[in-house]
Structure 1
Amino acid sequence: MINKDSVESAYCFLHQKYRVYEFSNSETQRDDIEFAIASYVNDMNKELYAHLAKGRKEFLCNHTTFAADMQEAINELELRL
């Protein structure tokens, strides 16, 4: 079940991390944020992650698509608030 608390928690965490990621010039900092998000994904509500990922196994965990995945996830979560 996807409850409001899990949506709010995910939105706050992803939104905060993405704002830093978006404006960071430090590759180390950006890598640390990607690692933090991947760790968060492992513990987040599984149904919520499945909804956001839409069948993509590496959603929010792939370096190549990370920025686009973050924007998509934040937009989707915002709609659910």
Structure 2
Amino acid sequence: MISRYSIEAAYSFFHQKGRIYAASNIERQKDDIEFAVAEYVNSMNRDLYEAIAHGHRDFLLAHDHFATDIQSAVDSLEKMMEP
């Protein structure tokens, strides 16, 4: 089961990290954000992760598509919060 709280918490976390990541020109900072997100993913509600991943392997865990993944996660979570 996915609680509203877990959706809101994930949205807040990913939204903040995604905005900083998109604005950053510092590779070290981007690496730190990717690491923090990976740690969050490893501890988050599995059902919620699967819902936002839409079947994509390594969603939010691969450097090559991290920027698009985090935006997709924010978009999915935003839709889940709609009444």
> TM-score, structure 1 length as denominator?
0.97
The residue correspondences of 1:2-81 to structure 2 (distance < 5 A) are 2-81=2-81
Instruction: Work out the CA distance in 2 between the residues paired with 1:5 and 1:68.
Output: 24
Instruction: Work out the CA distance in 2 between the residues paired with 1:45 and 1:55.
Output: 15
Instruction: Please give the root-mean-square deviation of Cα atoms over the aligned residues, in Å.
Output: 0.6
> TM-score, structure 2 length as denominator?
0.95
3-state SS of the aligned residue for 1:41?
helix
Gaps of 5+ in 2: none
- Length, aligned pairs only: 81
Could you tell me which amino acid in structure 1 is paired with residue 56 of structure 2?
R
| Percentage of matched positions with identical amino acids | 52
Could you tell me which amino acid in structure 2 is paired with residue 47 of structure 1?
D
Could you tell me which amino acid in structure 1 is paired with residue 57 of structure 2?
K
